[in-house]
Chains A and B, each alone.
Chain A
């Protein structure tokens, strides 16, 4: 179709306000319909659009608009990402960690008057950190199931992890489970009967971590 339509021919004759004139200039179609047609990847093919030189010119204009739009977005994003990091810091400064503290988990203490607790959020943090210390695995969501507020009540822990390719998944899961049991026992009095590990995603090993491994 493109060959039949001179590249320098312009379509400017449609009227922003008048749909009838718009359709008259576009073989019965509107710019909106042509735009939707482009969004669909021009399938199913519509000969009344594809065979119309006027539509072809309009489609070319729409495609150009889209290209310029993307390069504008690209330019704006580049400009924004070249800013210093202060704006990130100021956002993080205004955030309160208490929002995700969760339930209080009592700690057993020899003194009858002392009441010590660790928050659920802190325990999740310790579990995450334990995973982060292992290689080729990233810990996602951690959840504690059961009544953590009553000492001695058995609970279970459920953990989502991402394992990088070429790792032995059962081996990694086992290593992680043992490390988590140890760290929970070290920091809390929780009675953990099971740690369920779900591998949710096999990540492509990121460049950053591959470099990190070479140095360790």
Chain B
């Protein structure tokens, strides 16, 4: 899965392994940490935006995630796992945001209403497949989108998703299956 972005100024650190960067950052090396921020920040931003359904809070969530990461780097045993560790932190921060956003609603039961623009037939010709997928994803019920994003972007196992969202594994399976089927069905309309 692509997770890296263009390199910045030429320095041996820019191409150093995740392990090396995580170890140095855990020792207090800000330059190494900056390389990690550039390497995985964009993926974390894409991910947070997808989970939150908009990019209003993306800056805050990603910033909080990196500050937490910096403080807790010493607890990361295996530096080569820093990517999934960062994804886990940004997942948790994003989910916390969702919970805080609507304190009176049980987010596990919430289905976002499909937006009015949800009309694949009419739009199919005008947009590319990637744009269409972005739109259909955005229109998925929130709980389905969250599971799908954890699975496909953060590469969580079913069990990890269940633990993270505090849901039974069977429910997670069901939500993912529905999300996948909806995406498949919508996709048939695009070609």
**Which residues of A are interface residues toward B (Cβ below 8 A)?**
10-12, 14, 16, 22, 30-32, 35, 58, 61-62, 64-65, 68-77, 80-81, 85, 87-88, 90-92, 94-95, 97, 99-102, 121, 124-125, 128, 132, 138-142, 160, 162, 200-201, 203, 206-209, 211-212
Contact = CB atoms under 8 A, between A and B. Distances in A.
Contacts of B49: 76
A128 B29 contact: yes
A92 B63 CA distance: 9
Contacts of A124: 27-28
Contact of A92 (B8, B30, B71): B30
A208 B10 contact: yes
Contacts of B134: 72
Interface residues of B, number: 62
B165 interface: no
Interface stretch (B89-97, B100-108, B109-117, B174-182): B174-182
Given A65-B183, A73-B2, A124-B27, A81 B42 contact: yes
Interface string B165-187: 00000000100111011111101
Chief secondary structure at chain B's binding surface:
helix
Chief secondary structure at chain A's binding surface:
helix
Contact of A212 (B3, B10, B16, B130): B10
Nearest to A94: B67
B10 A81 contact: no
13 contacts: A65-B133, A70-B1, A73-B1, A76-B49, A77-B5, A87-B63, A91-B67, A100-B26, A100-B28, A121-B27, A203-B17, A206-B14, A212-B12
B143 interface: no
Interface of B: 1-3, 5-8, 10-17, 19-20, 23-24, 26-30, 33-34, 37-38, 41-43, 45-46, 49, 59, 62-63, 66-67, 70-71, 73-74, 129-130, 132-134, 152-153, 173, 176-178, 180-185, 187-188
Contact of A88 (B7, B27, B37, B130): B37
A201 B2 CA distance: 23
A62 B27 CA distance: 44
Given A65-B183, A95-B33, A125-B29, A87 B188 contact: no
B37 A92 contact: yes
B181 A16 contact: yes
A96 to B, nearest CB: 8
A71 B130 contact: yes
A30 B177 contact: yes
B43 A77 contact: yes
Closest 9 CB pairs of A and B: A100-B28, A206-B15, A81-B5, A208-B10, A80-B42, A141-B23, A140-B23, A209-B12, A76-B46
Contacts of B26: 100, 141
B19 A201 contact: yes
A88 B63 CA distance: 9
A45 to B, nearest CB: 22
A140 B188 contact: no
